[in-house]
Chains A and B, each alone.
Chain A
């Protein structure tokens, strides 16, 4: 017995001693990714530690103790040590959505603790739309973004706005950048995009009043595995829609009809009409320019190779990509090459250095333009301006461009780089960000960032002189008609941007109280220099410019500077009550000294209701998340002022004039210095609700917002300074306006067996309203009705209301209302009857009423975005297959038709088929007494048609209030099973096919205009219908 004790007791004892001093190490991961900062605690003990960057920890504990792993957003796990010395565990996230880390201003936050209106989108969702620009890929995917693809021209972006507030600020990896930089970043290099829509933008101060788009590029992971990704696609592009011009037979008939309608007898004969209709006899063959000009299945090709990886000390992401896009017009193309290199390393414990270098070459190649305008416009214009009765080639001889056409400079054969020459526009951009981070004592960390961007634009125009030819059958010769268009232009723009930032972060947890703070200082400056030289060369052969031939030279310089102080404070109690305070003190060079600085504070708060005790477990099973958010914040807007407006003196190079000694450089005496104006203040209020149901399967977010701009510059016109003083008083910060709206997104994602599926719908409604106008003043009540802008929605489109079309000459004769302002002498059956709203018997502008929403201003870009946008996306997956679809739509926007889209023979051109066919006309072209046959469009006129009341009077006959819902993408993908890929020594291989813009439900089909275009003559490159074949593989 004693023996037993002697033998056993020490054993027992030693075993006790052993259990007290075991050292356990291990690694905490989330699906193989290291988790840093996980708290590892011994249960019922004070011993605790945190995992390092690689997820490793070590702790001493009793052999039979239990370790508790806790990490914000993850389900806590308790593991019994059970004599083990190594414990590797994987933590499960509480709920997927709530733990997505979202990039917010100057850092990241867990989705669950965000209090502002922030939407984000991940790379995978972005890449689903094979768009050549980033903005195009965002459309329809998140709530709050309104968009209009004004043009599908290669390399052109989509106009996006956040909540219809205006152009947002773009920030890439923490540095404010231009929209062009955003659109042309390598899309594969984007990790995610966040959109700050409310007070959360206050952190970006002055330029953030229209919201902020934050882009984060990919970084290497500190996991051990290095990987190489290759992705590539090949795409076929076709226009979604374009106007069909009338053919020769319709055109000739319309000409005759115009003569008949003008009271003349047609100069043509039924035989001739018949010959045109048959179109076979020489001299009566029509031309379809559209078929010649528009190319089918224009290719776009994309290839990107990237590699990422890392270890404890270093991580890297390297990427190289290229995209070439041909236009649907011959010889027009766009090419872009990007590289991105993100490297980060720990040089000493607690100090990390990183560099993010990126560069791109972006080039646009086009045949030159006969005018100095837009090269893309001419071929599109040609479709409707060339007469279908004319031929492309003189005497059908393909060596000779026909000169004997009404509009020789629009003969599409000219728009060939071998004829007219070419234009190349190249951007060479280099962007760099260098940073260092420091872990300092007391929970403080610091980051210093410096960024330098260099952007160079080269524009090279080589336009040639050439001949077109007039065929003389008598002598069988071709007589040259010269186009002396030779011109060279070399333009260079050089933009250099400096940005420096110093940032301090502090985080502290005291029991259930969590506190974090941020302070930052920023300095940004940029210079923009442009130089342009043009020359008239004696020959076509060289693009080089000789001093002798120079005929134009410009040189310009601009500079900007901004300085800011930024601060943020976050506090939460038990992750239940969340509070965020934001502030920014901003200075801009734009304003007069004394008016430069502004403070832009913001506050937001959140309440996670589901964390409350009254939420019992049963309830929690259904409602996994319920959060109420509210925010209020101020940002600024630099508006109504140009650089140096505060300076008197004179403008260099203004109004040059020839004196006896040659050209004298003009100096324009500057107007009254503007010293009173300062930034416009924007105040944005937002209330939001986040809901998660059924363990996060169904999630929803809803936001109501209002953005008030105050201090919008306007003249203080009741101080009536006589015009004779020779200056006008500068605008002051007087007016205010408001944009208000709602937005929301609902997502359902689940899995049944092997089938996973998700569906998400989102929508945004936002519209601008003028709230206060400085002392509005009206001459009479009509004037007030017509011109008042305050307390009304902005951008109301006014015009006449059409109540019908005249049915007969008798009706016109007996018509009591003076419909055309000329006693109705210009009217024919089919002409528009305008509503005489005020009943005075004559149609004047007093009869105008609101007929639509804002319309395009005729410019190619920058038109309005729709007041209401919506989107839908859905996906279903089974084994390796996945099927995804994205839809986007919009309503509350208008399109007003002008020029060729409305007026027959506009500028002596052709007209769309529907205008010449579906028109009022007489039954017999050669009998003026024959009956009128109704049609949709007014009777055709030729001379002076442009000044006819049908077209001059802005009316709702020509406006379309557009509604559309379009299938943006339909993607079918297949990921090969692991057993096959591993045989190929690959870790992933996926192939997919995507159809983009395949069809849409909309009300613009009848006029053959893509619903997203805003340019009112329709003569632009519309959106594209794309078929994409792609592959992704990972080594």
Chain B
């Protein structure tokens, strides 16, 4: 028994050491930094900034929302087919909340950061550093407010942490929506206040003075056009009595002027120049966005770095099928529209409509208009080189590899005195041993191949392995570039009646694109609009431009016959007519894109997005947007 007691008490002691530890349940996380650690260490504060840059709202971009390039008029969806995504080609209308954004978590995190930095008394955080950090945080907050105001109209401007006291009545935290113009004024004011405190001189990845000015250039242009076009004749005003949306027309000039001033400050600073490195204008335009080394044009970009694990699948998802290095399916999700292709003018200034296309009706009449082209790319001859820089069209190469675009063949039928159409499976040969249907389509039904005959070039990465799921791509996403600033300046000047100044800016952009110097001698709003459409295609401008010009509901009116509201395709065919001079030549049919089902329909209620019901429930002072 003695022995038992001995062993037993030994065990008691051992167990006791387990249980007598103080704060038995306290654990330390290895993945969480405390407030005390973060706000006195500039390196960790940079980490907070990195997180905020990463979280900046983006609607359509390389990594976030690339599918939004396929729901307007720049392109259509040609990737996976199932009921979730097929809907992109069969959108009956745009839901009122399709691009809604109420991103106050971002605002709160910025406000928390500013407060903590302000009150930090760490020696490592010099007054200079504090000033830089706070300026950068305020810039990020202004970016977030711009993203909100362009979608929602006026939103409450919150610049301090709102702390709930847990006493059951949070009514004291309710703040009404600010007027739309107040938000734009706030953005301008913040930029004016911080632009000279921002460090990061020369950086294209973090905000500096010129980044702030680029935001001001864009935001003020938006405010100006809202004031101008919301009140334009023939447009049903989108306005609320409290001014939450809608800006008085009299304010337009002031905003245009601010935008122009900001643009001019960037242009005249000499810090940037339009990218003109490659003598081939088309290649140069492609390079202007994709080149990350000493790019003179880019002001701010969201960057990726494969070697350190930050990458995106934009190239994997969108490269032309025959260039896909992953072998299987997954490529070619975005098919640029013929509409966009035809928006690129001819170098002589003629409208961009392609010449000699058939109707695809498989009748003699439908073939009457054909021009027999020797080479596939001949139909695009003398087009604005930006077309080449933006879109891969039939007959071009990418990285030295020719695209394999051919929809089928037309065989002469002497009996009916017309050509008979044959289309086959992808990558199939005709009985004559030559290509029937190319690996790049276009195909009417197959997925992961172009449905329109076109592929994206802009932002498509030609680096080896970029279109594999393992490697992916690290092309950057350009947020602000000088090209846009020129267009902003041109538009603002034009709206201010400064025609000559406007022409200078627009002609500079066109000259860089490959047009002759002073290619335009007069300007109209339509020309400026088209210039933005082609210069800034697939850069997430199209929707917002159409909204601020208040023409989205006209272009995308939901009617079947409206060429602006529907996506068209260009199907190339090889002619088989042995003995005839046209044998082996190519013809093109312009058709309604086969996978495209419902015309684009933008309703007046889409000009301002729906505010989530929960937001209104939580704060009765929030008034709804018109039509909702």
> Quick one: which of A407, A662, A725, A906 contacts B162, CB cutoff 8 A?
A725
Let me know if A440 and B86 touch, CB within 8 A: no
A907 to B82, alpha carbons, bound, how many Å? 5
Q: A559, B27: Cβ atoms under 8 Å?
A: yes
29 A–B contact pairs at CB < 8 A? A404-B426, A409-B327, A483-B326, A485-B327, A485-B469, A486-B470, A521-B19, A536-B471, A551-B309, A588-B25, A644-B29, A655-B51, A657-B54, A657-B310, A658-B304, A659-B206, A663-B305, A665-B47, A666-B50, A669-B109, A671-B105, A719-B169, A721-B170, A721-B173, A722-B162, A722-B619, A723-B102, A724-B175, A907-B82
Q: Which of A42-50, A646-654, A790-798 contacts B (4 or more CB under 8 A)?
A: A646-654
Q: Are B106 and A667 in contact (CB under 8 A)?
A: no
Given contacts A653-B31, A664-B46, A669-B51, contact A448 B11 (CB under 8 A): yes
B268 at the interface (CB under 8 A from A): no
CB within 8 Å of A: which of B264-300? none
Whether A348 and B327, one on each chain, are in contact in the complex, defined by CB atoms closer than 8 angstroms, is: no
How many of chain A's residues touch chain B, expressed as a range? 35 or more
Instruction: Decide yes or no whether A195 CB sits under 8 A from chain B.
Output: no
Question: Is there contact, CB below 8 Å, between A667 and B4?
Answer: no
- A622 interface residue per 8 A CB criterion: no
Query: Looking at the complex, which of B33-41, B339-347, B381-389, B582-590 is the stretch in contact with chain A?
Result: B33-41
Interface set of A (CB-CB < 8 Å, partner B):
348-351, 370-372, 403-404, 406-410, 436, 438-441, 446, 448, 463, 468, 470, 472-474, 481-487, 500, 502, 521, 523, 534, 536, 551-553, 556-557, 559-563, 587-589, 593, 596, 643-644, 647-660, 662-671, 719-727, 729, 899, 903, 906-908, 942-944, 946-947, 951-952
CB <8 Å contact, B309 and A553? yes
Total count of chain B residues near the partner, CB < 8 A: 111
Contact check, A907 vs B80: say whether CB atoms are below 8 A apart.
Answer: yes
Alpha-carbon distance A959/B117, docked complex (angstroms): 57
Interface string of B1-42 (1 = CB under 8 A from A): 101110110011011001100001111111111110110000
Query: Does B328 lie within 8 Å of A370, measured CB to CB?
Result: yes
A659 to B43, CA, bound (A): 12
Within 8 Å by CB of A666, from B7, B51, B309, B330, lies B51
Task: Give the complex CA separation of A559 and B30 in angstroms.
Answer: 9
Confirm or deny: B87 has a beta carbon within 8 angstroms of a beta carbon on chain A. yes
- A438 CB, nearest partner CB in chain B, Å: 5
Known A589-B26, A726-B111, A943-B445; 17 more pairs at CB < 8 Å: A351-B7, A370-B469, A404-B427, A408-B329, A409-B329, A484-B326, A485-B326, A487-B470, A589-B27, A656-B50, A662-B305, A663-B308, A667-B50, A722-B173, A944-B89, A947-B83, A947-B90
- Whether the Cβ atoms of B468 and A485 lie closer than 8 Å is yes
Known contacts A351-B4, A473-B429, A721-B170; A561 and B15 CB within 8 A of each other: no
CB distance from B361 to the nearest CB of A (A): 13
Residues of B close to A908: CB separation below 8 A = 81, 445-447
Residue-wise, chain B 92-109 has the 8 Å CB interface mask toward A (1 for contact) of 000000000010111111
The 4 closest A-B pairs by CB, nearest first: A409-B328, A726-B108, A483-B327, A667-B47
Q: Name the residue on A nearest B428 (C-beta).
A: A404
CB closest residue in chain A, given B48: A667
Question: In this complex, what residue of A is CB-closest to B304?
Answer: A658
Inter-chain contacts of A951 with B (CB < 8 A): 83
Q: A536-B471, A556-B31, A947-B87 are in contact. Are A662 and B308 (CB under 8 A)?
A: yes
Contact status B113-A669, CB under 8 Å: yes
Partner of B325 from A484, A487, A944 at Cβ < 8 Å: A484
- Asked whether, in the complex, the Cβ of B597 is within 8 Å of the Cβ of A724, the reply is no
Residues on A with beta carbons closer than 8 Å to the beta carbon of B108? 725-727
The answer to whether B328 touches A650 (Cβ under 8 A) is no
Does B34 contact A655, Cβ atoms closer than 8 Å?
A: no
Stretch at the interface among B410-418, B534-542, B573-581, B610-618: B610-618
CB distance from A537 to the nearest CB of B (A): 10
- How long is the Cα–Cα vector from A439 to B106 in the complex, in angstroms? 64
- By the criterion CB–CB under 8 Å, are A587 and B90 in contact? no
Contact call A650/B47, Cβ cutoff below 8 A: yes
CB nearest neighbor in A for B465 = A484
CA distance A726 to B444 in the complex (A): 47
A720→B90 CA distance, assembly (Å): 38
Specify which chain A residues have a CB less than 8 angstroms from the CB of B612 in the assembled complex: 723
* Shortest CB distance A850–B (Å): 23
Q: Is A658 touching B27 in the complex (CB atoms < 8 A)? A: no
Q: In the complex, what's the smallest C-beta–C-beta distance from A663 to chain B, in angstroms?
A: 4
Contact among B19, B34, B203, B309 for A523, CB-based, below 8 A: B19
B351 within 8 A of A: no
Q: Mark B196-231, 1 if CB is under 8 A from A, else 0.
A: 000010011110000000000000000000000000
Interface residues of B, Cβ cutoff 8 Å to A: 1, 3-5, 7-8, 11-12, 14-15, 18-19, 24-35, 37-38, 44, 46-55, 80-83, 86-87, 89-90, 102, 104-109, 111-113, 156, 158, 162-164, 168-170, 173-175, 200, 203-206, 302-311, 325-330, 425-429, 433, 444-447, 465, 468-471, 594-595, 597, 612, 614-615, 617-619
Task: State whether A500 and B18 are in contact (beta carbons under 8 Å apart), knowing that A656-B310, A663-B308 are contacts in the complex.
Answer: yes
A946 and B445 form a contact (CB under 8 A): no
- Bound CA–CA A726/B471 (angstroms): 36
B113 partner residues in chain A, CB cutoff 8 A: 669
Contact between B83 and A484 (Cβ–Cβ < 8 Å)?
no
Q: How distant is the Cα of A438 from the Cα of B174 in the complex, in angstroms? A: 67
Contact B27 A561 (CB under 8 A): yes
Q: Which residue of A lies closest to B311 (CB)?
A: A551
Residues of A within 8 A of B34 (CB): 647-649
| Shortest Cβ distance from B5 into A: residue | A440
Cα A474 to Cα B619 in complex, Å, equals: 72
Q: Which of A485, A660, A906 contacts B205 (CB 8 A)?
A: A660
Are the CB atoms of B309 and A663 closer together than 8 Å? yes
Residues of A within 8 A of B617 (CB): 720
The distance from the CB of B141 to the nearest CB of chain A, in whole angstroms, is 11
Residue of A nearest to B439 (CB): A470
Contact of B107 (CB < 8 Å), options: A654, A670, A726: A726
Closest Cβ–Cβ distance, residue B146 to chain A (whole Å): 17
Distance in Å from the Cβ of B15 to the closest Cβ of chain A?
A: 4
A410 to B173, CA, bound (A): 56
Knowing A410-B328, A663-B308, A947-B86, say if A720 contacts B170 (CB, 8 Å): yes
Kindly list chain B residues whose C-beta atoms are within 8 Å of the C-beta of A483: 325-328
Complex Cα distance, B11 from A440, in Å, reads 14
- B residues less than 8 Å from A410 (CB atoms): 328-329
Q: Hey, which chain A residues are within 8 Å of B24, CB to CB?
A: 523, 561, 563, 587
Q: For the complex, what is the distance from the CA of A408 to the CA of B328, rounded to whole Å?
A: 5
CB distance from B596 to the nearest CB of A (A): 10
Query: Is A726 a contact partner of B81 (Cβ separation < 8 A)?
Result: no
- Cross-chain contact B4 with A348 (CB below 8 angstroms): yes
* Residue of chain A at shortest CB distance from B306: A551
Q: Which residues of A contact B309 (CB under 8 A)?
A: 551-553, 656, 663
Q: Which of B162, B200, B326, B433 contacts A409 (CB 8 A)?
A: B326
A560 to B168, CA, bound (A): 33
Q: Which residue of A lies closest to B2 (CB)?
A: A348
- A562: nearest chain-B partner, CB-CB: B25
User: When the two chains form their complex, are residues A729 and B164 in contact, meaning their CB atoms are under 8 A apart?
Assistant: yes
* Chain B residues closer than 8 Å to A348, beta-carbon distance: 3-4, 7
Chain B residues lying within 8 Å of A729, measured Cβ to Cβ, are: 164
Contact of B4 among A439, A596, A660, A946 (CB under 8 A): A439
Whether A652 contacts B33 in the complex (CB less than 8 A), given A551-B307, A559-B27, A907-B447, comes out as: yes
Residues of B within 8 A of A552 (CB): 309
Q: For residue A986, give the distance in angstroms from its CB to the closest CB of chain B.
A: 42
- Contact present for B48 and A906 (CB under 8 Å): no
Q: Residue among B18, B104, B425, B615 with the most chain A CB within 10 A?
A: B18
- How near does chain A come to B116, taking the closest CB pair, in angstroms? 9
Partner pick for A655 among B27, B55, B328, CB 8 A cutoff: B55
- Residues in A with CB closer than 8 Å to B446 are 406, 908
Residues of chain B contacted by A439 (CB below 8 angstroms): 4
Residues of A within 8 A of B11 (CB): 436, 446, 448, 502
